[in-house]
């Protein structure tokens, strides 16, 4: 995301805080796909991700006036989605234990129709990672958040983010090497 887009988002946040419904609609239009993708990474379920994102947006709209600095919107929004998605995952885990059912929580997106062997191997390796590891890699590589922003989203120190990111990369590398022919 370039500087102009960041400034535009900050302006949209400020206008939304001032009660401009059109600015809020534009903010939602611009940010919903990214937040939905993060929710799907954590839940592994398209419908659940949609519900999580919707619930997160309701919380964000209610709390937008309490956001002191529009610059903090990305980390704040991802933190809310992250929290709602983790709540959903925990609820599913409790339900599974209580019901003792054979249903498993779907935590991997459906395979895409890729033909490149390296892409398929990478996708399989990513699917083998824990949801929190996939989320961390997604925030860093796909959402291009800084270590400080990710630390804010996850509520942990930046050094811990850096360490976890290193370990996620190492684990991903091992998985890729193990799947190599």
Q: Which domains does the chain have, with CATH numbers?
A: 1-102 (1.10.1740.10), 111-181 (1.10.10.10)
Chain centroid to CA 28? 16
**pLDDT tens-digit readout, 39-71:** 999 998 899 999 999 999 999 999 999 999 999
At 164, list the tokens. 């976890």
Residue 84 has pLDDT above 70, yes or no: yes
Mean pLDDT lowest for which of 71-75, 80-84, 144-148? 144-148
Percent of the chain exceeding pLDDT 70 equals 87
Residue 36 has pLDDT above 90, yes or no: yes
Separation of alpha carbons 60 and 80, rounded Å? 8
- Note the residue count of the chain: 181
Tell me whether residue 153 is exposed, middle or buried, using C-beta atoms within 10 angstroms of its C-beta: 0 to 12, 13 to 18, 19 or more. buried
Element (H, E) at 155: none
Query: Cβ–Cβ contacts within 10 Å for residue 37, how many?
Result: 16
**Is the whole model's pTM more than 0.75, yes or no?**
no
Residue for token pair 């592994």: 44
What is the pLDDT confidence band of residue 131, given thresholds at 50, 70 and 90? confident
């Amino acid at each position: 995301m370039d500087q102009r887009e960041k400034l535009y988002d900050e302006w949209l946040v400020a206008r939304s805080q001032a009660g401009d419904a059109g600015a809020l609609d534009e903010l939602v239009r611009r940010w919903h796909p990214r937040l939905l993708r993060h929710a799907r990474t954590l839940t592994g379920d398209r419908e659940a991700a949609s519900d999580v994102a919707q619930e997160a947006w309701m919380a964000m709209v209610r709390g937008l006036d309490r956001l002191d600095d529009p610059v903090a919107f990305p980390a704040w929004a991802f933190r809310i989605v992250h929290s709602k998605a983790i709540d959903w995952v925990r609820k599913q885990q409790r339900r599974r234990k209580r019901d003792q059912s054979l249903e498993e929580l779907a935590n991997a997106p459906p395979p895409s129709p890729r033909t490149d062997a390296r892409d398929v191997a990478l996708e399989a390796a990513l699917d083998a990672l824990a949801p929190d590891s996939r989320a961390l890699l997604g925030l860093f590589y796909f959402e291009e958040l800084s270590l400080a922003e990710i630390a804010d989203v996850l509520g942990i120190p930046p050094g811990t983010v850096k360490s976890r990111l290193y370990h996620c990369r190492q684990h991903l590398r091992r998985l890729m090497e193990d799947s190599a022919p």
